[in-house]
Structure 1
């Protein structure tokens, strides 16, 4: 009886541990599968639902002597503005007297289906030689679209998130002073309507075109709605037929589609910015087994001027001369062959770090590996 109870107790413990291991296994499986999937909302946009660019020319007033000195962009607009307000001013009389005004370009993004009266943010950028827009106020500025129609009107105090303080021999500057921001600084006067309720077919546009990802999106949508309603047209477009149950209620259908998780396929790619020395290596980048040696040649040229005085018994008229002394030094770094390979990003980074190279040298190495055919990825130079 004691033996039976002991066996029963041990079997319960083993069964409990097995359940815990099984739970951990499914948890790891779930996390690994969810980590490789993204919502459709995060990787694609709906065709026709986008932002529209607006632009306008305006004047910023109230500056503390930091406005435009060259009034090419100012004199005539100021005279026109004052004339509309009933003040007659000669353009010639304004020259050299408007140091507190700056000419700016005002830009904004107008979303689709935004109603009239909605406030949107605007950005203000100087186009003249103004030193700073600090403390300025943007006057009423119409913002137009590519069709020339006015869609919003901007006005308000500018925030630059910094300052400029100067004296006769020095100055202190924080942040960029010639670009400002006006939160909710424009009021929408005209909308860009899109009638979604009347649509029977929708299109998803991938942010990063990829054939495999487009096909995965179509398959997941078809699985979700138990029918062939989605089809990948090209690497960047997926066409979707609105199910009959959602006709007249397309927004609910779009919201459901956006929440679907899709496995994305990221191409093997290495992005290199040679100007800044930045190197970004994608997750699927591989390097075939390769023997690599990298050395550096450093040449130092140093010039030191040396003053030579005339000798004691030099003839009259001899002058002191400055003779340059040049010192040239060349140093070559010794390098030995190192085996470089990697099946994961971690192994690849570890192998490249063993060479002890700088980002600039790493760029040259990646270019050489690509030429040799050992780098299994696209090399993108910015």
Structure 2
């Protein structure tokens, strides 16, 4: 039995549903993400991440949630050296995690709880900020003045569904821009991402039955009005349903990009066929800048935002009213193979900023020990 344990300054931890464990002997490819899968593009990004850590003097590794075997402890891990991914079938330990693993199921939540059970373990993504943004109903309750009206569907029953509709309709009746909310309803996975498990719904007998079917043991939903926003934002040649993402570190705006939905689709997420295009900070619409500043101020006044990376997404109704869609403490840091060079540069710049912040954080923690 191999009792060796390697210690690292930082370990990136990714979901074992997407990345492969270095200890998985049935997986024979060399990088952690299956190269021919949709997530194969992530290999280049995390290779670059590990290379930048090395340049900064940080000893870094990559592991998956499947490898978690204790507090800060993994039973196998990957490293990248000399232009090659390397598997390590023995244990790795760290007190600093770059957590790209957002637990959804009870098993995953138990894994994360085990990983962070010691007070010595620090996650780059602030838990308190994650709680605000990972649950869409929490996001609404924190930012009611700016967010899309939202009601929680507490159970997958007709009674609970109709109660949620009643609560939402009451909010819409009092909303100053209720004319924006005349185009039906959608449900969203309460803790979802990537545009998955978002459905237009009706409240006919068949429609309610569908909503009940959508509910599973692991997925619960919030109810929102469907917002028509396909003629509001214009960015040069880009038209249609567009949202604007603003990425912030601590309180400084780092980057912004737009996501454009495919024609006929109301979801702009890249996982749903949308396309992303970076825009310069000076091209961020003024109403987005104003609302983003107000939301950051609320966060500053209620939370410690030091070393906090997060993204805020906005849409504008066809009537010209801006809304916060959601927040994200785990914005994607990958590029597609066919991504334009300028986009790759932006993502690499973001990775460099994150790595610099990690080094600063590690040094601060050493100084206080």
TM-score range, shorter chain: under 0.3
Q: TM-score, normalised by structure 1?
A: 0.20
Relative contact order, higher structure (CA 8 A, sep 6+): 2
- Scaled by the length of structure 2, the TM-score of the pair is 0.21
The structure where helix makes up a greater share of residues is 2
Larger fraction in strand: 1
The structure having more radius of gyration, on CA atoms, is: 1
